[in-house]
Structure 1
Amino acid sequence: MRFSDIIVAMLVVTIIVLIIVPVPLGLLDFFLALNISLSLTILMLSMFVNEALEFSVFPSMLLITTLFRLALNIRTTMSILSTGTAGEVIASFGSFVIGGNAIVGFIIFLIIMIIQFLVITKGSERVSEVAARFTLDAMPGKQMAIDADLNSGLISETDAKIRRRKIQREADFYGAMDGASKFVKGDAIAGILITMINILAGFILGAMTMGLTLPQSIERFTLLTVGDGLVSQLPALMISVATGVIVTRSASEANLGTEVIGQLFAQSKVQYIVGIVVIILGAVTPLPNFPFLLIGTLILVAGYATQNRKKKEAFEQEQEEIEPDTSKEDMRRPENIMPLLQVDPIELEFGYGIIPLADPNQGGDLFDRLVMIRRQIALELGLIVPIIRLRDNIQLDSNQYLIKIKGNDMAKGNIVFDHYLAMSPGAVEGEIEGIETIEPAFGLPAKWIKSDLREKAELLGFTVVDPSSVISTHLTEVIKKYAYELISREDVKQLIENAKETNPTLVEELIPGLMSLGDIQKVLSNLLAEGISVRNLVSVLEALADHARSTRDINILTEYSRQKLSKQLSKTYFPFGQAKVVTLDQNLENMLMEAIDQNENGTYLAIDPIKTQGILASLATEVRKLMQMGEMPIVVTAPIVRLYFKRMSAQAIPDLIVLSYNEIESDIDIQSAGMVSI
């Protein structure tokens, strides 16, 4: 344990003991001096911090100092009432500070109490409540701003984590201050009650037990009580002021003193006007001349200094603007070439006409949609989508956008600004005027309609979406299609570490003894290539751990993983528990099994091209029949030939779903609506 931890712990224990254990007057004087010094330190710290979080321990300090002050009040009260003395510190405040006049001291004490309780304490309490509420209300907006900056590439993942942690700390701090400010209020009320008790009880005890006359008792105990009240309320006042300063501070780049001077004397015109008015008041009116003339002159001098400073800053800024641009020289430096070699995993480039959709200042919400895309892909596919870079490209048409995966052009589209895309879901009650087009994500016929026709189109049964939705939907589909290319070893490492938190034994058994991160990446990539979610990563890892000892073939391990996900596949492709599918003829399956060959690169189908074309023609016919029935095109095969038939069918029907019997739950009712034959 560090020495500072021991000191703080011992201090808190000492405060608790101080409440119940009598202490000598000399030690009591030391504690009273320590209380004043500690309060002054806190007040100075509150004025010199740039933002509240630099003094995040303040709520705890507020509790400790309040407890310390109350403990001292108890000790001094006991000393005053039992012996009629309270040490040199209180005696000094009672005689020197208030001049030995009990009435004057009592009035000063009441004024301090009124200022602290009605002005500073009430104000600090209210500001704390409002700051806590507004900080909590602003958290979602701040989180979205961080996500937008992260998606646009303005900050890194590390910066985003730091900013999110800071937002959480701000919420915790202002929430704690909301509660801690109640200590200040309670302390002020307790000070008033303790003072009243000291005076009344002192009068009685002084006259009854100490042999003092009533005037002597009133004088002694009033001086001691007022001295005690001033000694305790002076630190309380400093703490109250510190509380008000802390909760009213906003995040800035300078401390309170720098900001006050900088902003109060920022306008030379204001200082000239105020200085002249103050000098006129001193010279013309019956008011005392010297103070007004002196203050007015000082304000005019400050205005002149401010004006000169402004001119100097403007001149320096002009010099910076006319200095030669050194960016070209920087570009010639070899070390600046390295960032140019980096290729972003996902890029969305757009023409200048689409810029308003990506600019939050112009009402654009494209950044927010990118955040939702990453969350959607994570939920649907279990994939960590890399940062999506947004860039404007003057080489594109004004309303054109381009989607790139690892620097390669994968898809493009066009939008019509200030229009909506209307698509027919199949049955509409009429036609609507618009610009004929093709919906880019799914290739459906659609129309760009004017914004004033939106309600009419919806009433007619059209599905109407805005341009941002068109772009984000297209981007989502492209990411899903090429998810198998986007998953990297680094992504797999993060996924494995996340799974290790709940399944450490499984991960330790599999990695690195049975499989490497690269092998697992290939398995996950194979699953994503056929649109299978890897969110249930634990099941995939269990399948790999069960079979990695018997085979090192990635394709076979992928098939075992698919079979482990049979419930997930059945729910995805057979949501109603039954469906019509296309199957393979037994002779065709036997032929495919016999045609499986193997070389150093893995297994493949060694089959005559003419036979392959005949199989694909038969497959196309059966799939067409199935789609005419309104069914999803699904082919079910024997487990051993599923992978090879999927590869063969991808030549003609890339998106065809091919399942094996082992990947379908036994309670699913499947019926063969057609059979592919040789």
Structure 2
Amino acid sequence: MNNFLALLKNHSGHHARLLAGPVLILMVMAMMILPLPPMLLDLLFTFNISLAVMILLVAMFTKKPLDFSAFPSVLLFATLLRLALNVASTRVVLLHGHEGPDAAGRVIEAFGHFLVGGNFTVGLIVFIILVIINFIVITKGAGRIAEVGARFTLDALPGKQMAIDADLNAGLIGEEEARSRRKEVSQEAEFYGSMDGASKFVRGDAVAGLLVMVINIIGGLVIGVAQHDMSFAAAGKTYTLLTIGDGLVAQIPALIISTAAGVVVSRVATDEDVGQQMVSQLFRNPTVLFITAGILALMGMIPGMPNFAFLSLALLLAGLGWMLHKQQLERVQAQQEPDELQQNTADAAASEASWDDVSMMDPLGLQVGYRLIPLVDHTQGGELLHRIRSLRKKFAQDIGFLPPVVHIRDNLELKPNDYRILLYGVEVGQGTASPGQWLAINPGGVTLELPGTVTTDPAFGLPAVWVDVELREQAQISGYTVVDASTVVATHLNHLLHRHAGELLGRQEVQQLLEHLGREAPKMIEDLVPQVIGLGQLLKVLRGLLEEEVPIRDMRTILETLAEHVPRLQSQTAAGVMLNESAELLAAVRVALGRAISQQWFPGEGEMRVIGLDARLERVLTQAISSSGALEPGLADTVLNEAAQACTYQEQHGDPAVLVVPPMLRASLSRFLRHHLPQLGVLSNTEIPDDRMVRVTTIIGQSA
């Protein structure tokens, strides 16, 4: 029974939300067509004022414009509701205005008599001032901000999409987050475009208010004098006061909603709402409060000035400034106490050397100059730690094992903007980052030159330039890939993680990998390791795969292949056949992973456009490797030069640089070429699935 009632309640709430829009439209149409009694007009005017206040409060407490994405539609419906009320109230004023000041309801009477003291001249002036404030100041300013925001948002849309794609390709974000960010960018463009159009309704509403007031006064004079035999003065006072009351009732909510529109489009998106931003930024610096209090105190001492008002406010600001100054001193002392305690502890421990002074080398380290410290400090808004955590997670998902934790330290020996990436204490990469600026990377084909510090992308060596924040959108529109300093460091680290994955995999990681797999297939692990293959030999095979950036996610296939081939190779070795077991096992595993390796280089099921070897060069290389295991210097230079030319040809035609060779040449050529041409992949014929079509686009050795 309770479940049925809950379900009924959910359905009723859902239907109520669906009917909210049609009911509002029916209300608007009814007010324009049907005559309304004064009591109902009072309720509707009160509802209109409360709706305007609610809209302003929601706008004040939003933290970014998209939190109130329904605002353009709400603005349109609120404007229509107000215009419909004008029509309904005009009908009542002109029909029953001669009956007395409360003929159109108590709300209009209160605004026409109490708020302006029954003086229609004062009321007329107040009404005109409100219209001027609404039309010329607030509405015009909000409309201009919305127009400029829509233009810049639409201009920056392609660049923002490219930045999202760059983060996705670099592994900094996942597909789900990329989809969410694309949706948010699209919604932002639509929001500012809608606000640009909705602001025109508000301006039109202000003009309509003036026209309605003039028409009501003239119509009231004609009706009062001609139809109800009132004197001109009595008709003018009665109908003018009712018209002014009606206008004020409509213009005050209009002014509130226009202010809400200005708040929504003029705010800067942060983690604080508008009220928190104003308080935290206006009253952040006690020096400002002290200077303001001093100026007010001097003005309050001038004879003839309102001394009490100036001096009391000066005293209040001085007291507030003293409180802020005291709080800042307490925060500084609280930060210094842990540092002093840590220093005292360090001094006490330095008295005698012990095993605690022996520190093991970190597998993976990042050292930064002092200007890059804010990038790795959460309290200063640094995002690099979060990006590195995302990188490790993405690496584990793509490659197949969890890399070591990145230990980050500052290094005063580095230049302020430099950083170093260390592998077991040895530098494997270094670069420069500029916090507060953006790196505009030229992916090729961009001719526009940007002012800034010319450099190269540390990860891929592409030409780039560090530009100021103001040039970010211009660079994106021009075709540059624009990333911030944290992304530059994270992308460089991600690139080196993949390149040195084999060195990061050790016995401990392999043992953890086997334990993880053992939860799903415990029998296979028990039968294979260490009964069939030792941990050290398995480590060599896995490192061999990782050195050529082949993922080891498919551990089931790897272990089953090893279980099949290890006994056969051991029997051949026992029979006196000289074999390199690790190389043979690696080749067998690569064949078993052939489909995955082919997909890595050529996604999908399309044609594989590869580089081939000339038949004569193939025979020469086979003979050289079989006899001595190495290439002569002249032959090595020839192969290297022609391989470089073939890579360039492949890149120009948009194809991966992949060389396909016979199985016996693959390992030696890959080991020789990958140090000089890291972008070149070397596959054997047996690693390509039978159902994949292969086309040789360029041949090495044909010109010899």
TM-score by shorter chain over 0.5:
yes
> 1:67, CA displacement in angstroms?
2.2
Matched residue of 2:618: which SS?
strand
One of 235, 259, 267 as aligned partner of 2:289: 267
Kindly provide the amino acid, as one letter, of the partner of residue 196 in structure 1: V
CA distance in 2, matches of 1:329, 1:241: 57
- Counterpart CA distance in 2 for 1:172 and 1:269 is 44
Amino acid at match of 2:29: I
Aligned partner (choices 289, 294, 317) of residue 308 of structure 2 = 294
Further displaced range: 57-66 or 43-52:
43-52
Q: 1:86 to 1:557 in 2, by over 3 A?
A: farther
Tell me which residue corresponds to 1:95.
Answer: 113
Choose the corresponding residue for 2:208, options 173, 184, 190: 190
Deviation at 1:392?
5.5
Match runs of 1:234-273 below 5 Å: 234-250=252-268, 251=270, 252=272, 255=276, 258-259=279-280, 262=283, 266-273=288-295
Pairwise CA distance, 1:302 = 1.8
Deviations 1:299-357 (A, max 9, x none): 342244235425533552464255354668999xxxxxxxx99988x65557x6xx779
- Say whether 1:277 aligns with 2:299: yes
For 1:360 and 1:172, the matched residues in 2 are separated by 32
Alpha-carbon distance between aligned partners in 2 of 1:160 and 1:669, rounded to the nearest angstrom: 37
Report sequence identity in percent.
Answer: 29
Instruction: Determine helix, strand or coil for the equivalent of 2:593.
Output: helix
* 39-48 vs 659-668, which moves further: 659-668
Aligned to 1:460: none
CA–CA distance in structure 1, aligned partners of residues 361 and 179 of structure 2: 23
CA 408–159 in structure 1, closer or farther in 2 if over 3 Å, else same: farther
In structure 1, the partner of 2:450 is none
Checking the alignment, whether the CA contact within 8 Å between 2:642 and 2:701 is kept in structure 1 is no
Amino acid in the other structure paired with 1:28? L
The answer for the alignment partner of 1:117 in structure 2 is 135
Cα distance in 1 between the residues matched to 2:374 and 2:336:
30
Residue 221 of structure 2 is aligned with which of 189, 203, 212? 203
Distance 1:525 1:171 in 2: 48
Q: CA deviation at 1:229?
A: 0.8
C-alpha deviation, 1:237, in angstroms: 1.6
2:362 and 2:407 in contact (8 A); partners too? no
Taking a change above 3 Å as real, the CA distance of residues 401 and 63 of structure 1, as seen in their structure-2 partners, is: closer
RMSD: 6.3
Q: How many angstroms apart in 1 are the aligned matches of 2:240 and 2:29?
A: 25
- Give the distance between the partners of 1:674 and 1:256, measured in 2 at CA: 70
Is residue 306 from structure 1 mapped to residue 320 from structure 2 by the alignment?
Answer: yes
- Asked whether the equivalents of residues 217 and 243 of structure 2 are also in contact (C-alpha less than 8 Å), the reply is yes
- Cα shift at 1:298: 0.3
Bigger shift: 35-44 or 563-572? 563-572
Report the Cα distance in structure 2 between the residues aligned to 1:441 and 1:322, rounded to whole angstroms. Answer: 39
Distance apart, 1:33 and its partner CA: 0.7
Aligned residues: 516
- 2:249 counterpart residue number: 231
The alpha-carbon deviation at position 123 of structure 1 amounts to: 2.7
* Distance change >3 Å, CA 383–CA 65, structure 1 → 2: farther
Report the Cα offset of residue 231 of structure 1.
0.9
Using a 3 Å threshold, how does the CA distance of structure 1 residues 299 and 218 change in structure 2: closer, same or farther?
closer
Amino acid at match of 2:251: Q
1:571 correspondence with 2:643: no
Instruction: Tell me, in whole angstroms, the C-alpha distance in 2 between the residues paired with 1:120 and 1:401.
Output: 49
CA distance in 2, matches of 1:50, 1:579: 65
Structure 2 letter corresponding to 1:91: E
Q: CA deviation at 1:125?
A: 2.5
Distance 1:170 1:389, change over 3 A: farther
Q: How far off its partner does 1:31 sit?
A: 0.9
Partner of 1:320: 334
Aligned counterparts of 1:585 and 1:174: Cα–Cα separation in 2:
68
Contact 1:16 1:71 (C-alpha < 8 Å) held by counterparts: no
Deviations 1:143-197 (A, max 9, x none): 979999x9999x9999999999988876665555444333322221121122223
Deviation readout 1:23-42 (Å, 9 max, x if unpaired): 44322221111111222333
Alpha carbons of structure 1 residues 102 and 637: separation in structure 2 relative to 1, 3 Å = closer
Question: 2:581 is matched with which residue?
Answer: none
Residues 358 and 159 of structure 1, relative CA distance in 2, 3 Å threshold:
farther
Q: 1:81 to 1:328 in 2, by over 3 A?
A: same
Matched residues in 2 for 1:246 and 1:166: separation? 17
CA–CA separation in structure 2 for the residues paired with 1:217 and 1:24: 22
Give the secondary-structure state (helix, strand or coil) at the position aligned to 2:627: helix
Deviation digits for residues 417-448 of structure 1, max 9, x if unmatched? Answer: xxxxxxxxxxxxxxxxxxxxxxx999xxxxxx
Aligned pairs for 1:334-483 (under 5 A) are 347-349=365-367, 391=408, 403-404=421-422, 409=426, 411=428, 481-482=499-500
Which of the residues 661, 666, 676 maps onto 1:646?
Answer: 666
2:56 paired residue number: 43
Distance 1:476 1:231, change over 3 A: closer
2:312 counterpart letter in structure 1: L
Aligned partners of 1:581 and 1:239: how far apart in 2?
Answer: 82
Match of 1:433 in 2: none
TM-superposition CA deviations, 1:393-430 (whole Å, max 9, x none) = 7598989986546x585846899xxxxxxxxxxxxxxx
Q: Compared with structure 1, are the counterparts of its residues 51 and 126 closer, same or farther at alpha carbon in structure 2 (3 Å cutoff)?
A: same
Per the alignment, residue 64 of structure 1 pairs with 77
State the Cα distance separating 1:271 from its structure 2 match.
1.0
Partner AA of 2:78 in structure 1? T
Mapped partners of 1:245, 1:170: distance in 2 = 16
1: CA distance between counterparts of 2:113 and 2:405? Answer: 73
- The question of 1:665 aligning with 2:694 is answered yes
Residue in 1 that maps onto 2:443: none
Q: Which amino acid aligns with 2:51?
A: L
CA distance in 1: counterparts of 2:428 and 2:244, whole angstroms:
82
SS at the partner of 2:301? helix
Is the Cα–Cα contact under 8 Å of residues 402 and 409 in structure 1 kept in the other structure?
no
> Which range is displaced more, 297-306 or 246-255?
246-255
1:275–1:296 Cα contact (<8 Å) kept: yes
Helix, strand or coil at the partner of 2:303: helix
State the Cα deviation string for residues 474-510 of structure 1 (Å, max 9, x = none): 98985664467889xxxxxxxxxxxxxxxxxxxxxxx
- How far off its partner does 1:215 sit? 4.8
Distance of 1:223 and 1:93 partners within structure 2? 9
1:621–1:259 distance in 2 versus 1, CA, 3 Å: closer
TM-score (normalised: structure 1): 0.56
- How does the TM-score come out when normalised to structure 2? 0.55
Please say if 1:14 is aligned against 2:23: yes
What is aligned with 1:517?
Answer: none
Moved more, 555-564 or 24-33: 555-564
**CA distance in structure 2 between the aligned counterparts of 1:475 and 1:47, rounded to whole angstroms:** 41
2:7 maps to which residue? none
CA distance in 2, matches of 1:651, 1:124: 65
Amino acid at match of 1:559: G
In the other structure, the counterpart of 2:590 is 555
Native 8 Å contact 2:366 2:408 kept in 1: yes
User: What is the alpha-carbon distance in structure 2 between the residues aligned to residue 256 and residue 401 of structure 1?
Assistant: 34
Report the CA distance shift for 1:263/1:673 in structure 2 as closer, same or farther (over 3 A).
Answer: closer
Compared with structure 1, are the counterparts of its residues 313 and 91 closer, same or farther at alpha carbon in structure 2 (3 Å cutoff)?
Answer: closer
SS in 2 for 1:280: coil
Q: Give the conservation status (yes or no) of the 8 Å contact 1:105–1:226.
A: yes
**Matched residue SS, 1:573:** strand
CA distance in 1: counterparts of 2:174 and 2:342, whole angstroms: 23
